[in-house]
Chain A
Amino acid sequence: MSANPVLTPLHKHGALDVARIRAEFPILGLTVSGRPLAYLDNAASSQMPKAVIDRLVRYQSAEHANIHRGVHYLSEKATAEYEGARRKVQRFVNAREDREVIFTRGTTDSLNLVAHGFGRAFIGEGDEIILSHLEHHSNIVPWQMLCEERGAKIRVIPINDAGELLLEEYERLFSPRTRLVAVTHVSNALGTIVPVKEMIATARARGVPVLVDGAQAAPHMKVDVQDLDCDFYAFSGHKMCGPTGIGILYGKAERLEKMRPFEGGGDMILSVTFEKTTYNAIPYKFEAGTPPIAAAIGLGAAVDYLESVGMDRIAAHEHALLEYATAKLSAMPGVRIVGTAGRKAGVLSFTVAGVHPHDVGTILNEEGVAVRTGHHCAQPVMQRYGIAATARASFYLYNTFEEVDQLVAGIRRVQQIFA
């Protein structure tokens, strides 16, 4: 990849060179409240390396026009780059074909596309959808809306105190009316890695399709949709070093072909008369109107960047940070870690005794530490633990052990102020 020729040799071999990686992210040089920024809010949104920023600038400076329309140079160029980004994403998740990769506005949009395109076509009165207790609101609300409209029902896979799904309960939830399983790959609130491959096999044996919300997984670990054998896989660009406003829905071609379009408009049609419209083939059937072309190309550059570093090494680095932070916070009196699953991604939710998470977050901010506080758009998870909110630190490839120390010092300061 020519966009960043420096990257490839540096990251291919040996351990992750975090200092070198950090230098590639201009925003990480910021100081906040007079202290170096420790950005630990990656589960909400990640930062962008120069390779991706430069790619966006290059696109807007020398390649931009509308796609799939003009016969002129720029339109052909923009179209080629946009479709090139689709093939990069196809490779990234190992989809069989590039037409199985749909560009959306983000994970939420991807999930709504399935609720509309698959749900409204194939889910009716008395039918059932299986969700898990770990879901983000964006993988709950579209299904509630569908159920309200269709008279279908949601059944919920419970979790244990560690934040792991109870898989025997999952198997019991299936009935002849089960039409879909929609489950997260990694819990955004707790960090639990869900054994989706086994769960998909369970559903497959019963002929039930599975949608995986991969928003917190695809940026952090190698995802192979053919190996998982999922029917749908959704994720976002901005959580994986890419721009906001772009997301992906992977879907098996045979599923997508049977689905209804989500939005109507230009580019999603083959022909239109006032009597009848013939829809375009996949993926274009689901990409009405002018898409976020620059963001899609930026996502392609983000994929190049992450692959140049190596997804396995990113996952290993984040795991080391998680283990270090978990040990440090576990040793602090009054600090409770929420979510202690055996397999976790780099997400650490915690509470500080006697202090509301928002006060924790405000004081940490004054220490230069950016964490998320609140219910993390996963109120059912919070309800399960009988709490309104947590503070959450979440890691990415550019985070350091020193930043974890900065977090720990910040929590000590919270405890001093509220002593």
Chain B
Amino acid sequence: MDPNRLYQEVILDHNRKPRNWGRLAAPSHRAEGLNPLCGDHIWLTLNVADGRVAEIAFEGEGCAICKASASMMTANVKGRTVDEAEQLVREFRDMATGNLDASTPSHLGRLTVFSGVRDLPSRVKCAILPWHTLHAAFHAQATASTEGDADPIAQMG
């Protein structure tokens, strides 16, 4: 795979200038995401009102793939219903792991810039971590991890 396909300008831009950076003062939902293998670590806070993601913010440290994925995720789910956001979590995971059903239209839009990670198994977790963490926040789990029993995506099946 050509690195230009993964490290596209949109990813580099979100890495340089992450959107929705910070922490909400009084969030209705929050979760911490950790990828112990590479040290990616993010904190996600959000306010859900009337079943919609009214506000969302993240901060953390990690690789460009993780940071850009988190940034684009927050931009994407803001204003969406929790059900829509959960649908995106599933579609993003399927795309990143190469299991997206091409015959069914997805809601991923520009998030498909991350499709290149499917050829890089060690980087799939970097891209998925923010989405794990969002799922964990919706389900009131304090932490998400890309490893072991705490892996909420694995539990989603």
Contact = CB atoms under 8 A, between A and B. Distances in A.
Nearest to B61: A388
A59 B32 CA distance: 52
B62 interface: yes
Contact of A359 (B1, B2, B39, B64): B64
B126 to A, nearest CB: 7
B12 A418 contact: yes
Contacts of B38: 356-358, 373-374, 388-389
B148 interface: no
A312 B61 CA distance: 43
B3 interface: yes
B118 interface: no
B37 to A, nearest CB: 7
A313 interface: no
Interface in A1-59: 33
B62 to A, nearest CB: 6
Interface in A330-373: 355-359, 362-363, 366, 373
Contact of B126 (A33, A358, A363, A366): A358
The size class of the interface chain B forms with chain A is 10 to 19
Nearest to B122: A358
Interface in B20-64: 37-39, 61-64
Given A374-B37, A388-B39, A388-B61, A358 B3 contact: no
Contact of B7 (A357, A359, A388, A389): A359
B44 to A, nearest CB: 19
Contact of A362 (B12, B39, B120): B120
Interface string B101-129: 00000000000000000001011001000
A400 B63 CA distance: 30
Contacts of A357: 38, 63
A418 B8 CA distance: 10
A356 B38 CA distance: 9
A417 B3 contact: yes
Interface of A: 33, 355-359, 362-363, 366, 373-375, 388-389, 417-418
21 contacts: A33-B1, A356-B38, A356-B64, A358-B122, A359-B63, A359-B64, A362-B3, A362-B6, A362-B7, A362-B120, A362-B123, A363-B3, A366-B1, A366-B2, A366-B3, A374-B37, A374-B39, A388-B38, A417-B3, A418-B12, A418-B64
Interface of B: 1-3, 6-7, 12, 37-39, 61-65, 120, 122-123, 126
Closest 7 CB pairs of A and B: A388-B39, A356-B63, A366-B3, A358-B63, A359-B64, A359-B63, A358-B38
